[in-house]
């Protein structure tokens, strides 16, 4: 039916957010011959008589004749969720609570709702809840929103349902919190506390890291000292003992160690022979001064011939002669005869 035949008509479907559950209002002629009714099957119809009475036809009931009725109301019976906010006072008038409210409302008595003349259901429920809650939360400071919320919800259990006077069935829940200014201030304080805590934790962890670094550095120094001691021991051994010490730690370098050992021995013998030759060829030395060097030369020659090179143990080195020391010999013993031609 065209909209011109309706006093009130909402173009609403099942998913439309409604603030007024009355979908349409249409006056009826006394002799209405139109049989087609443009109404939703799940909506109820409330007919008004000429005497001012209302007759309810819930779905799927419909009247067979409408001659005795002057108007018809089509009312939505669905459940409608609403989310809204309230501003409630605290014990300090300069600070306020903010309340987030979740509402679900539904027409329970269509005749009573039509008689109430209400149009904006969410606003009606919000105003009614605010009137009941203001006196309760005013006793609490804005910083104690949890206690205020608990007292409000406990008191609401004894209240009559919201919108009951208008024929509505409602369910609701509420969350109370500080106003945005108080929240921002608390968030700022929390940020300062977290920043200070992070700094303290950073200092503590930094000390632990520094202590660990110092411990590692001390361990490295001890390791270096041990290496220095080992190298000192190695260098103090000298000759064959030093080579044996190195070979015990690096057995794979045996051939190289033996070659170097022979080369060192050869060079040592050459140096000794060179010194003896220079000493005997020197004209500045007296004959008696050459007796001891001769004994050393003979001993070195014996070691070369018997392959007892320097570096061998003293107990295995044969003596070149068993004669007593030079200081115990008689005068002239051990001296080289003087050539009369050179005398």
Q: Using CB atoms within 10 Å of the CB of residue 53, give its burial: 0 to 12 exposed, 13 to 18 middle, 19+ buried.
A: exposed
Pairwise CA distance, residues 298 & 343, whole Å: 27
In a domain, 228, yes or no: no
DSSP class of residue 110?
A: H
Residue 311 lies in a domain: yes
How many Cα atoms are found within 13 Å in the side-chain-facing hemisphere of 282?
13
Query: What is the C-alpha separation between 236 and 229, in angstroms, rounded?
Result: 10
Claim to verify: residue 113 and residue 174 sit in the same structural domain: yes
- Lowest mean pLDDT across 89-98, 202-211, 257-266: 257-266
Is the per-residue pLDDT at 262 higher than 90?
Answer: no
Q: Verify that 99 and 66 share a domain, yes or no.
A: no
The mean per-residue pLDDT over the stretch 21-46 comes to 78
Number of domains in the chain: 3
pLDDT in tens, 98-142: 999 999 999 999 999 999 999 999 999 999 999 999 989 999 998
Residue 292 located in a structural domain: yes
Give the pTM.
Answer: 0.54
135 and 119 belong to one structural domain: yes
In this prediction, residues 85-99 reach a mean pLDDT of 88
Same structural domain, 84 and 173: yes
| Nearest of 156, 149, 144 to residue 91 by alpha carbon | 144
- Percent of the chain at pLDDT above 90? 31
Residue 161: left if φ>0, alpha if ψ -120 to 50, beta else—which one?
beta
Is 333:291 a contact under the CB 8 Å cutoff? Answer: no
Residues 49 and 96 in one domain: no
297 and 273 in a common domain: yes
In a domain, residue 183? The reply is no
Name the one residue in this structure whose structure tokens are 């819930």. Answer: 58
Q: Percentage of the chain surpassing pLDDT 70?
A: 65
231 occurs within a structural domain: no
Cβ burial 321-337 (10 Å sphere, 16+ → b, else e): eeeeeeeeeeeeeeeee
Q: Which of 136, 155, 178 is the last residue of a domain?
A: 178
Residue 18 backbone phi and psi in degrees, to 5 = -105, 145
Phi, psi of 33 (to 5 degrees): -90, 0
Condensed to tens digits (0 to 9), the pLDDT of residues 152-182 reads: 999 999 999 999 999 999 999 999 987 777 7
pLDDT at 253: 64
Give domain status of residue 146, yes or no.
yes
Task: Give dist(CA 275, CA 208) in Å, integer.
Answer: 64
Residue 61 belongs to some domain of the structure: yes
Q: How confident is the model at residue 320 (pLDDT cuts 50, 70, 90)?
A: very low
Quickly state the pLDDT bin for 96 (edges 50, 70, 90).
confident
**Distance from CA of residue 103 to its chain's centroid?**
40
Do 275 and 318 share a domain, yes or no? yes
Structural domain includes residue 265: yes
Question: Do 10 and 57 fall within a single domain?
Answer: yes
Tell me which residue range forms the domain holding 63. Answer: 3-75
Are 14 and 41 contained in the same domain?
A: yes
Residue 311: pLDDT over 50: no
Residues 91 and 164 in one domain: yes
Q: What is the CATH number of the domain that holds 142?
A: 3.30.479.30
Task: Using DSSP bridges, classify how beta strands 168-178 and 96-107 pair: parallel, antiparallel or unpaired.
Answer: antiparallel
pLDDT value of position 309:
47
**DSSP for 250-289, written as a single string:** -GGGHHHHHHHHHHHHHHHHHHHHHHHHHHHH-TTS-TGG
Which of the listed residues 45, 75, 105 is the one where a domain comes to its end? 75
Domain end call among 122, 157, 178 = 178
Q: What is the pLDDT of residue 66?
A: 84
């Amino acid at each position: 039916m065209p909209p011109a035949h309706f006093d009130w008509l909402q173009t609403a479907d099942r998913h439309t957010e409604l603030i007024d559950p009355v979908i349409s209002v249409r006056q009826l002629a006394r002799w209405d011959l139109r049989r087609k009714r443009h109404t939703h099957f799940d909506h109820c119809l409330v007919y008004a008589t000429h005497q001012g009475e209302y007759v309810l036809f819930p779905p799927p009931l419909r009247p067979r004749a409408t001659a005795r009725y002057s108007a018809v109301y089509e009312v939505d019976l669905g459940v409608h969720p609403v989310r809204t906010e309230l501003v409630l006072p605290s014990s300090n008038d300069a600070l306020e609570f903010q309340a987030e409210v979740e509402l679900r409302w539904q027409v329970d008595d269509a005749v009573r709702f039509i008689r109430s003349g209400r149009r904006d259901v969410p606003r009606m429920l919000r105003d009614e809840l605010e009137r009941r809650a203001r006196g309760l939360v005013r006793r609490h400071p804005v910083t104690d929103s949890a206690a205020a919320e608990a007292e409000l919800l406990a008191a609401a259990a004894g209240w009559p349902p919201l919108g009951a006077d208008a024929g509505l069935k409602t369910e609701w829940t509420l969350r109370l919190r500080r106003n945005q200014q108080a929240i921002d201030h608390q968030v700022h304080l929390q940020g300062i506390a977290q920043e200070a805590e992070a700094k303290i934790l950073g200092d503590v962890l930094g000390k632990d890291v520094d202590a660990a670094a110092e411990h590692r550095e001390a361990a490295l120094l001890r390791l270096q000292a041990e290496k220095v001691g080992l190298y000192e021991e190695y260098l103090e051994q000298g000759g064959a003992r030093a080579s044996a010490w190195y070979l015990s730690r690096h057995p794979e370098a045996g051939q190289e160690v033996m070659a170097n050992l022979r080369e060192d021995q050869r060079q040592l013998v050459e140096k000794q022979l060179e010194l003896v030759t220079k000493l005997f060829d020197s004209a500045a030395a007296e004959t008696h001064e050459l007796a001891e060097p001769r004994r050393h030369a003979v001993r070195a020659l014996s070691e070369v011939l018997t392959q007892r090179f320097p570096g061998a143990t003293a107990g295995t080195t044969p003596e070149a002669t068993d004669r007593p020391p030079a200081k115990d010999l008689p005068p002239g013993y051990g001296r080289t005869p003087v050539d009369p031609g050179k005398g």
